[in-house]
Structure formats: C-alpha cells, structure tokens
Structure 1
Amino acid sequence: MKLHIKNMVCNRCKMVVKAELERLGFNPVSVVLGEVLLTENISAAEKLKIAEKLNYFGFELLEDKKTQVAEQVKTAIINLVHYTKEPLKINLSFYLSEQINLEYAQLSTVFTEIEHQTIEKYFIAQKVEKTKEMLTYGELTLSEIAYQLNYSSVAHLSAQFKKVTGLTPSAYKVQTTDKRKTLDEI
C-alpha cells in the first residue's frame, strides 16, 4: 500500500518516517520524499494511528488525490533544486511530466488550485532558497551560483532574488540574521 505524506523534504524526514512506521509495527518497503510503500494493506484504524504519529513530527498523511499531485510536484522540484548535483539545465514542464506521469497542463492546474501559486513561482522560490544556502556557505561566487541554478546571467538571478527577498544577494550575504526558510515553509 502506498501512503502519500506531506512535508517530507529531506533525508532526515525519510529516516524519521521510516523509524516511526517500524516502531508502529509496519514494514516500509520504500521511503522516498513524499511517499511510503508498505508491504501490507492497512485498516482505517491503523491509518489513523499512522496519521497521528506523523502529525506529531510535522508530517501529514494525504488522502485527497489533488493534494497528492500538488505534493508530488513540490517534492519533484525540491529534489531537482536541492539534491541534484548537476547544473539545472532542464525543461521544468517536461521534467515534471516525466516524474509524475501526468500532462503538465493538468499538473499546473491542480498545483495552482491547491497551493494558490503557480509552479513557476514555487520553482523560483526554491531556487532563491538554494541561492541563500549557497551564499551562506560562501563556497561559490554569484556567477557560479547563477550557472548552477541555470540563470541566464547574474543580473537575472539578482533580480529574482531581490523580488522574492527584498534584498540583493550581496545585501543578504552581509546581513547578520539568517532569513532562510525551511523547505516545507516555502
């Protein structure tokens, strides 16, 4: 049985979900961002028990199909932006359609309905958070960050960064307080 889980955004999330399911006596075959595959079918009472345990850790069991699709889009974008080692030279609509096995128009409609923002705005927000992370670590120049995140220029990256954060990348880097968001807050 496949379970869809909201707010799984990192490897630690996968470890927590797997450990808690095992603690409840279930055998997860696979635990990936946003999804768990169990060997057995579960009853409504067991599903409620799982939902309660997951809620305790900030996760949410998703039942609604549209919400599941929106979460799959978010998970695919998070994987692409935050966990891909190669530069982001990719067609987003093609990538999402391939990952989720639905037409992009359908994905876009459902995502906008559920999340109240476009896929493109969510993608940009994730890229800005990745930029913040890279700026915080200080290992790459702004030109290298722009290349990694597939911006046409540093000016384009800077313009999107300022539009989202209200700061230029340089101003963000020298500020004393960290204004990064967790991935599930974006």
Structure 2
Amino acid sequence: MELFVKNMVCDRCLMAVKNEFNKLGLTVLSMELGKISIQEEDISSVKEDLAQNLESLGFELMVDKKTQTVERIKNLIVEMIHQNNENLRTNLSQYLAEKLDKDYNSLSSLFREVEDSTIEKFYISQRIERVKELISYDELNLNEIALQLHYSSVAHLSSQFKKTTGFSPSAFKKQTATSRVPLDKL
C-alpha cells in the first residue's frame, strides 16, 4: 500500500516518519519524500493513531489526490534544489512533467488551485532559501553559489534574491540573525 505524507522535505523527515510507522508495527518497504510504501494493505486499525502521531511531528497523512500531487511537485522541487543540483540544468516544466508523467499545464493549474500560488514562485523561493543557506555557511562566494545553482549570472541571482527577500546577498550576509525559513514553511 502507498501512503502520502505532507511536509516531508529532508532525510531527517524520512527517519522521523519511518520511526512512527515502525512504532505502530507497520512494515516500511520503501520511502521517498512524501511517499511511503508499506507491506500492509489494511491499516484501518492504526490509521487514526498514525495520523495523530504524524501531525504531532508536523506532518500530515494525505488522502486527497490533488493534495498528494501538489505535495509531490513540492518534494521534487526541494529534492532538485537541495539534494541534486545537477537537475537544475533541466527545464523545470519538463522535469516535473517527466517525473509525474503528466502535462505541465495541468500540473501548473492544479498547483495554483490548491496552493493559491504558482509552481514558479515556489521554485524561486526554494532556490533563494538554498542561496541563503549557502551564504550563511560562508564557504562559497556569490559567483560560486550562482554557478552551483545554475543561475545565468551573479547579477541574475542578486536581482532575484533582492526581489524575494528585500535584501541584497551582501546585506543578508551582514545580518546577525539570518532570516532563513524552514523548507516546510515555504
């Protein structure tokens, strides 16, 4: 049986969710961001407990197909930006359409309907969060960050950063308390 969980955005999320499944005696066969395959075909006896346990950790067991698809889109974007930079070379619409085996226009419409925002805005917000993360590590200069995240130029990165955050990258770096947002809050 496949189950879908909202707000799974990192490897620690996978571990936390798997732990909750194991606590309830469910056998996890495979996991990826937002999706879990379990051996059991009927979980009605533990479904309410599972939903409550996940909710207490900031996750949500999803049953609505539209919400599942939107969460899958978000997870693919998070994975693309935060875990596999090479996919950033790929056209976003093509990447999502191929991964989800659906027309991008229908994915875009569905995303807008459920989230009241666009896929592109979500994608940009994720990229900017990644830029903030890399700036705060202070290991790469802005040119290296632009290259790593496949921006066309440092000027493009800086412009998008300022438009999104209200700060230039250098002003952000000088801030004592960085204003990073957890990925599941974007």
Shared fold per TM-score greater than 0.5? yes
Q: Deviations over 1:4-55 (max 9, x none)?
A: 0000011011001111101101001012110110111124342222111100
Q: Which amino acid aligns with 2:128?
A: V
Gaps of 5+ in 1: none
The CA deviation at 1:168 is: 0.3
Q: Residue 5 of structure 2 contacts residue 60 of structure 2 at CA under 8 Å; is this kept in 1?
A: yes
Aligned position for 1:149: 149
Alignment of 1:26 onto 2:44: no
Could you tell me which amino acid in structure 2 is paired with residue 40 of structure 1?
E
- Offset at residue 85 of structure 1 (A): 4.3
The percent identity for this pair of structures is 48
| Structure 1 vs Structure 2 CA RMSD | 1.1
Aligned to 2:3: 3
SS of aligned partner of 1:36:
strand
State the partner residue of 2:104: 104
The separation in 1 between residues aligned to 2:165 and 2:125, in whole angstroms, is 9
Q: Distance in 2 between matches of 1:63 and 1:141?
A: 44
After superposition, give the CA deviation of every residue in 1:58-95 in whole Å (9 maximum; x if it has no partner). Answer: 10011111100100000000000000143721110111
Question: Aligned residue for 1:79?
Answer: 79
Q: Residues of 2 paired with 1:66 and 1:45: CA distance? A: 25
Q: Aligned partner of 2:38: which letter?
A: L
1:88 and 1:149 in contact (8 A); partners too: yes
Which residue in 2 is equivalent to 1:161?
A: 161
**Matching of residue 37 in structure 1 with residue 40 in structure 2:** no
- Distance (whole Å) between structure 1 residues aligned to residue 102 and residue 48 of structure 2: 29
SS in 2 for 1:145: helix
The more displaced of 41-50 and 132-141 is 41-50
Cα pair 1:87 1:148 within 8 Å, conserved: no
The alignment's TM-score, normalised by the length of structure 2, stands at 0.97
Gapped regions of structure 2 (runs ≥ 5): none
Question: Does structure 1 retain, via aligned residues, the 8 Å contact 2:2–2:38?
Answer: yes
**Residues 87 and 171 of structure 1, relative CA distance in 2, 3 Å threshold:** farther
Worse-matched range after superposition: 163-172 or 81-90? 81-90
User: Which 10-residue stretch deviates more, 45-54 or 99-108?
Assistant: 45-54
Distance 2:3 2:88 in 1: 29
Alignment of 1:125-140 (within 5 A): 125-140=125-140
Distance in 1 (CA, whole Å) between partners of 2:177 and 2:168 is 15
CA distance in 2, matches of 1:124, 1:16: 27
**Are the aligned partners of 2:30 and 2:36 in contact in 1 as well (CA < 8 Å)?**
yes
- SS in structure 2 of the partner of residue 5 of structure 1: strand
